Amino acid sequence: MQWRRRHCCTHMAKLLLVLLSLLGLLVFLGHQVWLPRLTGKPWWRGHPVVYGSGGLTIKAKLNISSQHSLWRFVIVPQPTSNRDFNISSHETDDVLSPQGNTSFENTVVVNTSQTQQGGPSGIITHGPFHYIINEPGKCADKQPAPFLVLLIATEARQVEARNAIRQTWGNESVASTLGFIRLFLLGKNDGELGLLQQRMLEAESRRYHDIIQQNFLDSYKNLTVKTLMGMNWVAMHCPRASYVMKTDSDMFVNTEYLIYKLLRPEVKPKKNYFTGNNMRGYAPNRNKNSKWYMPPELYPSEKYPTFCSGTGYVFSGDLARKIYRASLSIRHLHLEDVYVGICLAKLRIETSPPPNEFLFNHWRVSYSSCKYSHLITSHGFHPNELLKYWHHLQSNKNNACINTFKERTSRTHMRMNREKQAQ
């Protein structure tokens, strides 16, 4: 009897010890931020990569539920859906910053569905979207490296705009001796209209050989995808290009001024160079009815990093590859220019302000041959206007400001004469 009591007490003590151990383990696990199922929070909120006023730093915070964070932006991993962004599901890359801050790079977690391809050689592939139309031979190795590649975002229906650009600022004869490549960037459209547009687009491509297209849905939400396609093309097919410009099909671009006054072919090409209309200190738009609405769950920070307006920015050819590879570990955002700014921030590359703040304009500048001979971009042009103003500028470019002065003087005299007559 005594033996049975001792045996029973021993079993009870062991059972109690096991239960206490399990309870302690559960309490321990319940306090770990790296288990999202237990905490109810996304794992990346516990270990964000933060861009603060003092540069890029690493912060681990247990409670960051407030959307009014002091962080300037958070880099988070990409979603697993391939439809929303143009990256290769087989590529990852530790993009080393100029400062060599490897602790920052190691903290940026890449989508675990991605695996390395090409090892240290860093092979670039076309990403999850295949090319429907491509021009891989437009920048052949046997030819001299082009000085400038124009990447122009457009839509299939904008045939008139493309034709106007081919005849004006996108005409490759503007700098034929330097090497000047024009490429229109497109996605695809669905339905019967999409099929008709596709047949017309393929005929246009056979005629001009200046279109690249992948099989993502062509929409405003996929403008980032479209831009990354252009950078991917430069990285894959034209890595020796000195400079690249990304712009839109409703823009006036003074390519002559851009090439000969800003970039200057006689000077050694720059590296890690990115310029345009600098947008500094901009906050995300939280108005759900706005075209530029940014949901807090996608971007919780109060400020964007400095970026350049997507209406027209210029960068050195080496950055096409770097930006594309940086994008492989940064969550996709639909605002293309903001997204490129985040990629630059990850690379520790600051945008360079242009020598004149009026060179790059994301608004419509009233036309005069004098003003337009000294700017690079102006926004909001109909194809007919583009043809009219471009040809006027070309015929007056040698004495544009002199003619403008004469016109103003003439108008002043006419006004004074009318006033005298009225008296």
Full 3-state SS string of the chain: CHHHHHHHHHHHHHHHHHHHHHHHHHHHHHCCCCCHHHHCCCHHHCCCEEEECCEEEECCCCCCCCCCCCCCCEECCCCCCCCCCCCCCCCCCCCCCCCCCHHHHHHCCCCCCCCCCCHHHCCCCCCCCCEEECCHHHHCCCCCCCCEEEEEECCCCCHHHHHHHHHCCCCHHHHCCCCEEEEEEEEECCHHHHHHHHHHHHHHHHHHCCEEEEEEECCHHHHHHHHHHHHHHHHHHCCCCCEEEEEECCEEECHHHHHHHHHCCCCCCCCCCEEEEEECCCCCECCCCCCCECCCCCCCCCCCCCEEEEEEEEEECHHHHHHHHHHCCCCCCCCHHHHHHHHHHHCCCCCECCCCCCCECCCCCCCCHHHHCCCCEEECCCHHHHHHHHHHHHHHHHHHHHHHHHHHHHHHHHHHHHHHHHC
Give the C-alpha separation, 188 to 161, whole Å.
18
The lowest-confidence range among 91-100, 120-129, 242-251, 257-266 is 91-100
Give CA–CA dist 354/38, Å, rounded: 50
Instruction: Write down the pLDDT at residue 155.
Output: 97
Residue with the larger pLDDT of the pair 99 and 354 = 354
Kindly report which listed range (45-49, 331-335, 359-363) carries the lowest average pLDDT score.
45-49
Q: What is the mean pLDDT of residues 302-319?
A: 96
Please name which of 162, 134, 59, 147 lies closest in space to residue 104, comparing C-alpha atoms: 59
The lowest-confidence range among 5-14, 299-308, 382-391 is 5-14
Which range is least confidently modeled, 39-48, 212-221, 280-289? 39-48
Distances in Å between the Cα of 1 and the Cα atoms of 8, 9, 136, 162, 322 are: 11, 12, 91, 100, 80
> CA-CA-CA-CA torsion for 137, 141, 142, 148, nearest 10 degrees?
80
Q: Is the pLDDT of residue 2 over 70?
A: no
Report helix angle 400-422 to 383-396, nearest 10: 100
pTM score of the predicted model: 0.70
The larger pLDDT score, comparing residue 226 to residue 15, is at 226
Size (the chain), residues? 423
Lowest mean pLDDT: which of 75-89, 117-131, 258-272, 278-292? 75-89
For the stretch 3-11, contacts whose Cβ atoms lie closer than 8 Å and that sit 24 or more positions apart, written own/partner, are none
Residue with tokens 């929303």: 84
More confident residue, 291 or 9: 291
Residue 124: its pLDDT value, please? 77
> What pLDDT score was predicted for residue 133?
97
Q: How far is CA 284 from CA 40, 346, 355, 420, in A?
A: 26, 19, 27, 55
Across 4-13, 245-254, 319-328, least confident range: 4-13
Is pLDDT above 90 for 136? yes
Q: What confidence score (pLDDT) does residue 176 get?
A: 81
Of 2-6, 83-87, 413-417, which gets the smallest average pLDDT? Answer: 83-87
**Whole-number Å distance between alpha carbons of 124 and 324:** 9
> Does position 56 have pLDDT exceeding 80, yes or no?
no
Residue 289 has pLDDT above 50, yes or no: yes
Q: pLDDT by residue (tens digit) across 148-160? A: 999 999 999 999 9
Average pLDDT over the chain reads 77
- Mean pLDDT computed over 91-107: 32
> Please, what sign has the CA dihedral across residues 38, 42, 45, 46?
positive
User: How confident is the model at residue 402, as a pLDDT?
Assistant: 74
Contact 313, 339 (CB under 8 A): no
The domains found in the chain, sorted by start residue, are: 38-75 (no CATH), 102-356 (3.90.550)
Measured between alpha carbons, how far is 1 from 216 in angstroms, rounded to an integer?
80
Contact assessment for residue 163 and residue 383, using Cβ atoms and an 8 Å cutoff: yes
CA distance 242 to 317: 5
* pLDDT (0 to 100) of residue 418: 72
- Cα dihedral 34, 298, 337, 112 sign: positive
Measure CA of the first residue to CA of the last residue in the chain; give whole Å: 133
Confidence check: pLDDT of 258 > 80:
yes
